């Protein structure tokens, strides 16, 4: 924990005065609630360090071991300086076949991100999108793609509740107005509801085991 706090010292969440460390701690909380192994939780805390700080993968390997380093590396974008679209496409494609532990850290990361966006959108409305590198339409494409990738792997991994939670938050941010009304074009929200029904059908009656 101390390692991550020092690494992220002086950094803030995009467009806010909140210390950035709040995000990796939020990711860790989700992973702890899923009863993940210590290595997965540590990787969740460190998942942004090699992208956003001077810390290297080798630093993480020396201090926390090969397993944590492998997960952090897998959950990191390979070229932080590349075009946004290329980096997001890489993430989407990688998550289609990512190992379980990396998949779970990435899912927890995206859940915490969309929670923060939803909370800020409730306060700021459409002006929220000015803080991002790409407009709302691009963000919608990315998060919709993530919902599709996550939901199509729930027959492999016991993550039904997490994926449902993520999908609902994405729907609230991108297809509900603040007063709770649907936009005039109902196609996308209805597709979301179909996807949620598919998630429930695929996983109905399944228990969530401990993640090791």
For the annotated catalytic residues, the residue numbers are 51-52
Count of beta carbons in the 10 Å neighbourhood of residue 187: 9
Which three-class secondary structure state does DSSP give residue 99? coil
d(CA 83, CA 94): 17
Sign of CA dihedral 29, 31, 32, 33: positive
Q: Answer yes or no: are the C-beta atoms of 174 and 136 closer than 8 Å.
A: yes
d(CA 33, CA 25): 12
Q: Which residue in 68, 65, 90, 70 sits closest to 79, CA to CA?
A: 90
Cα R_g (the chain), whole angstroms: 17
Tell me 129's DSSP state.
Answer: G
List, in order, residues 6 or more apart from 157 with CB less than 8 Å away: 100, 103, 104
* Sheet strands (E) in 66-212: none
């Amino acid at each position: 924990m101390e390692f991550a706090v020092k690494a992220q010292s002086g950094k803030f969440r995009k467009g806010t005065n909140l210390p950035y460390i709040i995000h990796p701690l939020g990711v860790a909380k989700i992973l702890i609630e899923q009863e993940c192994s210590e290595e997965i939780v540590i990787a969740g805390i460190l998942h942004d360090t090699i992208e956003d700080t001077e810390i290297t993968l080798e630093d993480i390997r020396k201090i926390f071991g090969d397993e944590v380093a492998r997960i952090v590396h897998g959950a990191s974008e390979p070229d932080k300086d590349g075009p946004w679209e290329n980096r997001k496409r890489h993430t989407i494609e990688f998550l289609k076949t990512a190992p379980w532990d990396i998949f779970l850290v990435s899912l927890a990361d995206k859940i915490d991100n969309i929670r923060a966006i939803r909370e800020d959108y409730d306060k700021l409305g459409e002006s929220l999108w000015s803080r991002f590198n790409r407009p709302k339409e691009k963000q919608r494409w990315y998060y919709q793609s993530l919902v599709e990738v996550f939901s199509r792997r729930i027959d492999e991994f016991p993550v039904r509740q997490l994926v449902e939670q993520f999908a609902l938050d994405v729907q609230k941010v991108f297809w509900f107005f603040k007063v709770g009304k649907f936009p005039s074009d109902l196609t996308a929200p209805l597709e979301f509801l179909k996807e949620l029904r598919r998630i429930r059908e695929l996983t109905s009656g399944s228990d969530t085991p401990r993640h090791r």
